[in-house]
Structure 1
Amino acid sequence: QYLKETQPTALRLLTGVSTYDLSEFMVLDAATRRNLELTETIRGGDEKGSLLSVLDYSVTPMGKRLIRQWVSKPLLNLEQICQRQNAVEYLLVQGLLRAELRSALRSLSDLERLTTRVISGHALPRDLTAMRLTLRSLPGTQGLFLAASSPLAPVLGGLRPCETELELLETSIDDEPPATLQNTGVIRPGYSSELDNVIEASRHAREWIANLEHVERARTGIKSLKVGYNKVFGYYIEITRANDGMVPTEYIRKQTLVNAERYITPEMKEYETLVLNAEDRILEIEKRLFREICETLARASKDLLSTARALAELDTLASLAEAAALDNYTRPEVTTDKVIQIQAGRHPVVEHSIGSGPSGALRFVPNDTNFEPGEIIRLITGPNMSGKSTFLRQVALIVLMAQMGSFVPAASARIGLIDRIFTRIGAQDEIHAGQSTFMVEMIETSLILNSASNNSLIILDEVGRGTSTYDGVSIAWAVVEYIHNHPDLRSHTLFATHYHELTQLSDLLPGVRNYNVAVSEADGKVVFLHKIIPGGADRSYGIHVAQLAGIPRPVIQRATEI
């Protein structure tokens, strides 16, 4: 009602209104999106290196936008998740069909954006030729799926034939129209008799003028007579001064040059007017017809947008199937039970970068994550560079991928629906907001403790490290107790820390378990095995990490002595 009263013209841009219900999607705050690098990396803000970069094998602009939405908005509806999984599995198994589908989609234009331009009145002639080519391809795309019982049936139901719209475009728009409506040639000959008559009259006038030079040379006997045109004076007959005596009396002087005179005849003036007026008339008619065509298409926007969404979803499902095939992902079981069981889980981005980099011989070390009955918090200790942060992100990403309907990088996975993922990873000053590293850390921790539920997943990395050791240990200890004991929390939590004192909590709180990152020591050398094993770590290996970083040997020796 407000729009009707204040912006009535804006309503034509709205083809439908759908409400965004938070209960339908997993909630991901800004810190979690950033820390998990869902669509861009923390450093540089590039898409390469993000979760999106390893899942996006889409071949259409519509698919690229939709898969970004799916990554950012995992589902909470178990039926919808299973529906996506069924479709991905179908395309994964049907490898040849998947290849044919991707090939067919690759040639399509951005039907969604094209339709939006038509609705808004901003479409150009070549937008309609692009739409025509896309609609021509629909029968071939639909023909790939002859089995009515296919898991893709709900998606395919969104594909509309759009036969009426295609016929309109075929009959009305020229095969190679100009880029803008400022030039003629947009409308196909035969579509409008009015336009055809004006064009024919203009063509006849042009032919008469084109033949005039030959006719007048023969009539006057002036061999050097020329017929020309310029934008200032229009059409003219040019005769050199040497032939002034042969100029017919009906010629009307139009322009005097140094060596010639330019003339026009009454009949020539009539044809000139016909040609010049015809150009304006043709442009006027073509613009009107083009506007009418767009208005007709706009009335069919519901079907066009439904088709665009279906094509985008097919592209996105094929993209997830392609990722699963290339990176050996498996179908997770998503359930309403409160459970996280991941066998041989892998970090999708790190694994991908190892496999595609110059050190492709390296192998990602998988890890299990099996929360036992009654287990709430998993404390993970171990040295820097051992893989703690990678493991934390890995679990969160596998949960997120499972709920977006994707297959996951694991031997198997059973995931209970998670309503929110919270992350407190890393630390940096928010100078523009006047907040120190520790303040940022505490604000993010506060949000988690005040917003998480029993069905949330909490990822905490080094809480309390931005202040003194005693304060840091105290805060971290209290945070663990709060999550464990608060009746509205008791969320599945992965807590990585350097504070070995926290390992004592497993003796005090029944839902706390200690884990550490395995390390191999031999001949004075330390090798991080990147394997998460039960038990707490007894050393941090900070000096070893400093040595790996290139700290001068005297400093390393002195640190060892101290």
Structure 2
Amino acid sequence: EMFYQHHQVREETRSLLRRTCDLQRLLAKLACGTINPRDLLALRGTLSLLPALREELIREEMGAVAELVEEINPLTGLERLLSTALREEAPVIITEGNIFCEGYHQELDALIIATREGKDWIAGLEQKERERTGIKSLKVGYNQVFGYYLEVTKANQSLVPEDYIRKQTLANAERFITPELKEYEELILGAEEKRSALEYELFLELRQRVLSDLPTMKGIAEILALLDVYAGLAEVAVQNHYLRPEINQDKKILIKEGRHPVVEKVLPPAGFVPNDTLLEEKNHRLQIITGPNMAGKSTYMRQVALIVLMAQIGSFVPASFAQIGLVDRIFTRVGAADNLAGGQSTFMVEMSELANILHHATADSLLILDEIGRGTSTFDGLSIAWAVLEYLWNPHKIGARTLFATHY
């Protein structure tokens, strides 16, 4: 209701929630030890939104929503740590390296600088060797088998200096190394190997630190999920002109101008005909619904069940008025299908489900029964439907509020 009444707050809240990650999934990965650097970046992004969310919702007019949001611990320390530690382009695979920012760890910084300086030297080597040898097409390359090399085309073989050491012969080129290039290669690869190993260790430490806040983050995830549900239900209610139902402990369901929330969306505007419902303990506990095929019997019964369900989860409902007495369970026997894998015919499935309903329904339940007995012959089906109706009508048996559709 708070989100329903405050349009601007609802829009801003939904905008912030869209930018959050799937926190519950990430926390499951964290608990299992499979979370990766990219996941921690997504987690950091979500944590960074919490102060704005608190500022938006902790206000007097938001009532219970504000009380809920006040329980959020924004974990500013953890968010700051992740911002300081992780590079924006951190990889998914931990062993790839390039996870941490410069300034996060002194030893790691030294290795990053050594790697960078070595690569800068190699980048300048290509131009220097071109000028020294006069080979304009000379290139510096790298592969994991030979490491760094100098590549010279066959046409320029006569210009190759004596200090070049042949490493590999290709169809159109020769690859060489020099003692100086080999020295820098060992420096770079050694620094990169040490850096990757150190980053792996640092990431495990960081993951363990994040894991220590797991209980708090689970609480945050639950609150964000609730806010998402509340704001989403409010948005649907506004768009589709739902109203707030009255909820009580009476065994009465009174719905005026009720609509099926799904069917009305697929029909043209004003294509759905609203209808009323009254179920109460004394005089209207059981309704027998008859009519030709495609008259709307099943839609009507499903509509009542959905409105009751929506009301009990805290949603507004598609009706002009709704008074809903709480139900403990909603039982349905709708449709016709066999169970080939279980060796059950359509009639057997129908009877099994009906037996389950009759054994477990209480006076506080809502029963939706659609064409009981359809899976057998006319006279047998009529007998079953009649017997079930008498059993349901007997106030000393179940006494549940029931919608019963039949062709008999």
| TM superposition score normalised by structure 2 | 0.89
1:97 maps onto 2:9 in alignment: yes
Aligned to 2:178: 264
1:242 maps onto 2:151 in alignment: no
Asked if structure 1 preserves the Cα contact closer than 8 Å seen for 2:334 and 2:368, the reply is yes
Q: Secondary structure at the match of 1:281?
A: helix
Task: Name the CA distance, whole Å, in 2 between partners of 1:206 and 1:439.
Answer: 75
Task: Name the CA distance, whole Å, in 1 between partners of 2:114 and 2:382.
Answer: 91
Asked if structure 2 preserves the Cα contact closer than 8 Å seen for 1:254 and 1:264, the reply is no
Deviation at 1:437, TM superposition (A): 2.0
Alignment match of 1:108 (pick from 2, 20, 36): 20
Amino acid at match of 1:242: S
Asked if structure 2 preserves the Cα contact closer than 8 Å seen for 1:342 and 1:370, the reply is no
Asked if structure 2 preserves the Cα contact closer than 8 Å seen for 1:421 and 1:458, the reply is yes
Deviation at 1:346, TM superposition (A): 1.8
Deviation at 1:217, TM superposition (A): 7.8
**Structure 1 residues 470 and 217: alpha-carbon distance in aligned structure 2, compared to 1, 3 A threshold:** closer
**Structure 1 residues 398 and 215: alpha-carbon distance in aligned structure 2, compared to 1, 3 A threshold:** closer
1:135 maps onto 2:51 in alignment: no
Aligned to 2:308: 399
Amino acid at match of 1:107: R
Amino acid at match of 1:446: A
Alignment match of 1:389 (pick from 295, 298, 302): 298
Alignment match of 1:166 (pick from 55, 63, 79): 79
Aligned to 1:18: none
Residues 507-546 of structure 1: pairs in structure 2 closer than 5 A:
none
Task: Name the CA distance, whole Å, in 2 between partners of 1:450 and 1:127.
Answer: 48
**Structure 1 residues 200 and 374: alpha-carbon distance in aligned structure 2, compared to 1, 3 A threshold:** same
Asked if structure 1 preserves the Cα contact closer than 8 Å seen for 2:58 and 2:67, the reply is no
Asked if structure 1 preserves the Cα contact closer than 8 Å seen for 2:278 and 2:284, the reply is no
Aligned to 1:303: 216
> Which structure 2 residue ranges, 5 or more long, are not aligned?
none
Task: Name the CA distance, whole Å, in 1 between partners of 2:169 and 2:14.
Answer: 66
Q: Secondary structure at the match of 1:144?
A: helix
Alignment match of 1:349 (pick from 223, 247, 262): 262
Moved more, 187-196 or 174-183: 174-183
Alignment match of 1:436 (pick from 345, 348, 351): 345
Q: Secondary structure at the match of 1:228?
A: strand
Deviation at 1:438, TM superposition (A): 1.9
Amino acid at match of 2:58: L
Alignment match of 1:199 (pick from 112, 127, 151): 112
Deviation at 1:252, TM superposition (A): 7.5
Q: What is the total number of aligned residue pairs between the two structures?
A: 400
Cα root mean square deviation, aligned? 2.6
Task: Name the CA distance, whole Å, in 2 between partners of 1:429 and 1:185.
Answer: 57
Deviation at 1:325, TM superposition (A): 0.9
Deviation at 1:196, TM superposition (A): 0.7
Asked if structure 1 preserves the Cα contact closer than 8 Å seen for 2:279 and 2:401, the reply is no
Deviation at 1:374, TM superposition (A): 4.1
| TM superposition score normalised by structure 1 | 0.66
Q: Secondary structure at the match of 2:63?
A: coil
**Per-residue Cα deviation, 1:396-426 (whole angstroms, up to 9, x for no partner):** 1111111111111122222222111111222
1:280 maps onto 2:193 in alignment: yes
Deviation at 1:155, TM superposition (A): 2.5
1:446 maps onto 2:359 in alignment: no
Moved more, 255-264 or 328-337: 255-264
1:360 maps onto 2:273 in alignment: no
Moved more, 267-276 or 254-263: 254-263
Asked if structure 2 preserves the Cα contact closer than 8 Å seen for 1:119 and 1:295, the reply is no
Asked if structure 2 preserves the Cα contact closer than 8 Å seen for 1:227 and 1:238, the reply is yes
**Structure 1 residues 486 and 242: alpha-carbon distance in aligned structure 2, compared to 1, 3 A threshold:** same
Task: Name the CA distance, whole Å, in 1 between partners of 2:330 and 2:168.
Answer: 84
Asked if structure 1 preserves the Cα contact closer than 8 Å seen for 2:166 and 2:174, the reply is no
Deviation at 1:150, TM superposition (A): 1.6
1:228 maps onto 2:140 in alignment: yes
Asked if structure 1 preserves the Cα contact closer than 8 Å seen for 2:264 and 2:271, the reply is no
Residues 312-331 of structure 1: pairs in structure 2 closer than 5 A:
312-331=225-244
**Structure 1 residues 242 and 488: alpha-carbon distance in aligned structure 2, compared to 1, 3 A threshold:** same
**Structure 1 residues 217 and 144: alpha-carbon distance in aligned structure 2, compared to 1, 3 A threshold:** closer
Amino acid at match of 1:286: E
Residues 417-436 of structure 1: pairs in structure 2 closer than 5 A:
417-436=326-345
Q: Percent identity?
A: 43
Deviation at 1:448, TM superposition (A): 1.3
Task: Name the CA distance, whole Å, in 2 between partners of 1:353 and 1:478.
Answer: 38
1:178 maps onto 2:91 in alignment: yes
Task: Name the CA distance, whole Å, in 2 between partners of 1:272 and 1:151.
Answer: 63
Deviation at 1:105, TM superposition (A): 1.5
Task: Name the CA distance, whole Å, in 2 between partners of 1:98 and 1:302.
Answer: 28
Aligned to 1:560: none
**Structure 1 residues 254 and 325: alpha-carbon distance in aligned structure 2, compared to 1, 3 A threshold:** same
